[in-house]
Amino acid sequence: MIRRPLRTLTVLIGAAAAVTAFASPASAATSVLNEAAGPVTLAAAQQKLGTSLGAAFAGTWLDTTTGELVVGTTDARQSARIRAAGANPKVLRHSAAELKRIQSTLDNRTADLPDSVAGWYVDVPANEVVVSVVGGDPAGRAWAASAGVPVRVEQVKSAPRPLWSVVGGQGLYFSGGACSVGFNAYDDDDHYVITAGHCTELGGTVRGVGGTIGKVAKSSFPGNDYGTVKVTHSDVSTPPRVDRYEDGSDVRIEGADVVGVGGRICRSGITTHWHCGRVEALDQTVNYGNGNIVRGLTQTDACAEPGDSGGSFVSRPSSGSGTKLVQAQGMTSGGSGDCSEGGTTFFQPVKEVLDRYDLTLEKD
């Protein structure tokens, strides 16, 4: 049976300690609460002081130089209470409740919000509400001024955008069809997504599950079956992870040690998701027909179907709790059969493309 690349011809290609920190106002704290106390103790102290100070409470923060807990108050007479609780007092003009009301006023004026307004927040140490405006745009400044509440306008370089991750085994969409993400890698200057070469030969702009990733950078097929997509959009993150879909949480890539013949491997792709098997042969030459001969592939009995092309092959995760660590093996190339009755699948070893293009797998 002729084994062809996995792609379709139409749509797809393939708190007790915290309580004792509070003494009565008449007693003195033995030490000042700081970052070393840990988040649980600090959170309890902040909540307790917020309640005890009532309307005079003006927020809390850690001093970035000393790491000590600072508590704001609009009533200087509360300073002794704050010190007794183990924090440093600071007398401020606006209470936390007042700042929240100012912020809420802005929250209720979004109907005419200019795109140049990147957001707004309470700057607790400065005791101000800040409006972020891209490039100091006049329309954004005018919107902030027209709110009728005291605010500080800060200039930011760019507007925020939602961040999304390119994860191994998830969809990779070309103008002519769909494949799967193999692995994320980088060189000295840029980040790349590695997938199958018979996918990147389509060229052009490539999208992922959350939007545009970038354009095809390099491609090698036939002979080899690998290619890269250069990540050019700043909202894209490239973590060292592979999606296990319904089989569990993502696994994390920690290296690229090769699994030998008889070893257990697993693969991920958008069509059939997560399937496992064993390595049957290394360094195999495969004839996909029409002159498409690929050398150096690894044969496995893990099934795959069209659309899974380019997806991640990894070592089988170990059992037990916690994040599963795996070794990157390669990208799904092609095969025969399906995941209903079983089949044979080949993958392009990832080390070859890393060496060829001088890339390093992403790390946490």
pLDDT single digits (tens) 116-141: 999 999 999 999 999 999 998 999 99
pLDDT, tens digit, for every residue of 155-165?
998 887 777 89
Of residues 132, 180, 219, 309, which has the active-site annotation? 309
Tell how strand 251-255 and strand 325-338 pair up: parallel
Is residue 198 annotated as part of the catalytic site, yes or no? yes
Higher confidence at residue 158 or residue 296?
296
Q: What residue ranges do the domains of the chain occupy?
A: 33-91, 96-156, 164-237, 240-352
Q: Pick the catalytic residue from 191, 198, 273, 275.
A: 198
| pLDDT tens figures, 69-81 | 999 999 999 999 9
Domain 96-156 has CATH 3.30.300.50: yes
Our answer to whether residue 309 is catalytic in this structure is yes
Task: Look up the pTM and report it.
Answer: 0.67
- For 33-91, the fitting CATH number among 2.20.70, 3.30.300, 1.20.950, 3.30.420 is 3.30.300
The number of residues making up the chain comes to 364
What mean pLDDT is predicted for residues 221-243? 96
In the set 225, 243, 250, 308, the catalytic residue is 225
Superfamily of domain 164-237: Trypsin-like serine proteases (2.40.10.10)
Give which of 299, 311, 301 is closest to 273, Cα–Cα: 311
Name the residue with tokens 């007092």.
89
More confident residue, 162 or 235: 235
Tell me: pLDDT of 364 over 90. no
How far is the C-alpha of 22 from the C-alpha of 49, rounded, in Å? Answer: 9
275 is catalytic: no
pLDDT value of residue 320: 65
Q: Which amino acid is at 58?
A: A
* Cβ atoms of 216 and 198 closer than 8 Å: no
- pLDDT at position 27 over 50: no
Q: Give the bridge partners for 155, in sequence order.
A: 133
Share of the chain above pLDDT 70, in %: 91
Do 96-156 and 240-352 fold alike per CATH?
no
Q: Is the pLDDT of residue 18 over 70?
A: no
pLDDT band at 12 (very low <50, low <70, confident <90, very high): very low
Q: Is 305 helix (H, G, I), strand (E, B) or coil?
A: coil
H-only helix segments in the chain:
16-19, 39-53, 79-84, 96-107, 138-145, 197-200, 350-357
CA distance linking residue 101 with residue 78, whole number of Å? 23
| pLDDT, tens digit, 9 for 90 and up, residues 43-73 | 999 999 999 999 999 999 999 999 999 999 9
Q: Classify domain 240-352 by CATH number.
A: 2.40.10.10
Euclidean distance between CA atoms 201 and 292, whole angstroms: 13
Q: Residue 230: beta bridge partners?
A: 192, 215
What 3-state class would DSSP assign to 3? coil
